[in-house]
Amino acid sequence: MSDQPRPTGHPDIRHGKVGVLLVNLGTPDGCDTASVRRYLREFLSDPRVVERPRWLWYPVLYGIILTFRPKRSAEAYAKVWDRERDESPLRTYSRDQAARLGERLAGLDEVEVDWAMRYGNPAIEARLLVLREKGCDRVVVVPLYPQYSATTTASVCDEVFRVLSAMRWMPAVRVAPPWHDAPVYIDALARSLEAGLAALDFEPQKVVASYHGIPKRYFDAGDPYYCHCMKTSRLLEARLGWPGGRLVTAFQSTFGPEEWLTPATDETVKGWAANGTDRVAIFNPGFVADCIETLEEIDIALREDFFAAGGRAFAHVPCLNASDEGMDVIETIVRRELCGWTHTDASHTLSS
C-alpha cells in the first residue's frame, strides 16, 4: 500500500465498517386518519403488493380505498397504539430487536446495526445513507420475513437497490435469504409455543399457525410463499411431536374481492366455534414481531368473533419479538451473512 499523502483537499472518507440493516414492513407515524392514509398510499402503491396495471388500480386506490379505509384502519391502530411512546408496537419491537442485536454483536467492533421500515419511517433510504456516512462500505440487509414472497422480501430489495442506484460510492450488499426451514427458527417457534401454551388455564383443541395471506394468483405465478409456510408448519409439527391435525395452517389479512390463499383464519376459527371446537390458540409464525395484524386482527377482532360464534376459550401466543428465542434466530441469520466480512464465529451460523 502506498504511503504517499493524499492530494490536497481530499475529503476524509470513512470506510471499513460493515452495516447490518434489519427491515420490517412498516407502520404509520400516528394512529390518526391522515397518518394512516399516508402510510396506506405508500404501501398500496407498491406494484409488488398490488400486481395490477396502474391505470386500473390507481382510480380504485385514490377514489375508494384512500377515501374510506384510512379511518377504519386508524381505529384499528388506535386499539393497539402505545400512547406513552406514541408509536405502534411494531416500531417498538423493531427498535428493540436492533438494540439487542447490537448488544449481541458488540464484540464485532466493525459492525454497525440499524433498522428500517419498507413503508413509513425510519425509511430504508435514510438509514442506508446513515450507514454509509458511518463508513459502512459493506451492508447486510435482513428483510424480516421468514417466508419469502415477492410482496415482502422482493419489495425490500427493490427499495434497497433503488437507493443504491443514486449513490456515487455504493456499498457492497448482501441480502439475507428466507429462513422458513432453518433449525434455529423452528426450534425458537417450538419453545415459544410450548411456553405460551403451558401458561394457559385451558387445553386448546386446535392450534392455528396463522400466516399473512397473498392472492392465490401470485402463488400460481410462481411465488414460493405458500410452500414456505407449509414447510414451516410441517417442520414445527414434527419438532413438537404433535399428532396430525392438532396444528392447523391458515391465512389471514385478505384484501379485495379476488381469491386468496386458503383456508382463511377467521372463517376457519369461527366455523369451529359454531361446531363444537370451542377452545383454540393462535400464533403467527410468519411475523417476527407483533403488529396490528396479530394484536388487533387476531387477538382483538377474531377473539370477539370467536366468542360471538360460540367459542369458550381463546388464546393468542405472542410473536418471537425481541425475546431470547427471537434474537437467537436473528443473530444466527446475521452472523451467517457476516462470514467473510468480519471475524464472526462461524459456530453461530445456521446448520444445513
Q: Which of 133, 140, 135, 136 is nearest to 160 (CA)?
A: 140
Distance separating alpha carbons of residues 81 and 316, to the nearest angstrom: 18
The answer on whether 159 is annotated among ligand-binding residues is no
Distance separating alpha carbons of residues 268 and 264, to the nearest angstrom: 6
Q: Which of 205, 202, 142 is nearest to 177 (CA)?
A: 142
Q: What is the CA radius of gyration of the chain?
A: 22
Q: Which residue has the cell 415459544?
A: 192
The answer on whether 348 is annotated among ligand-binding residues is no
- Helix, strand, or coil here: 119? strand
Q: Cβ distance 162 to 170 under 8 Å? A: no
Say which amino acid occupies 145: Y
Distance separating alpha carbons of residues 289 and 178, to the nearest angstrom: 16
Q: Which of 227, 201, 212 is nearest to 281 (CA)?
A: 201
Q: Cβ distance 69 to 125 under 8 Å? A: no
Rounded to 5 degrees, what angle do the CA atoms 279, 268, 230 make? 100
Strand partners, 282: 208, 316
265 secondary structure, DSSP code: H
Distance separating alpha carbons of residues 101 and 327, to the nearest angstrom: 7
Binding-site residues, please? 212, 293
Binding-site residues for Fe(2+), please? 212, 293
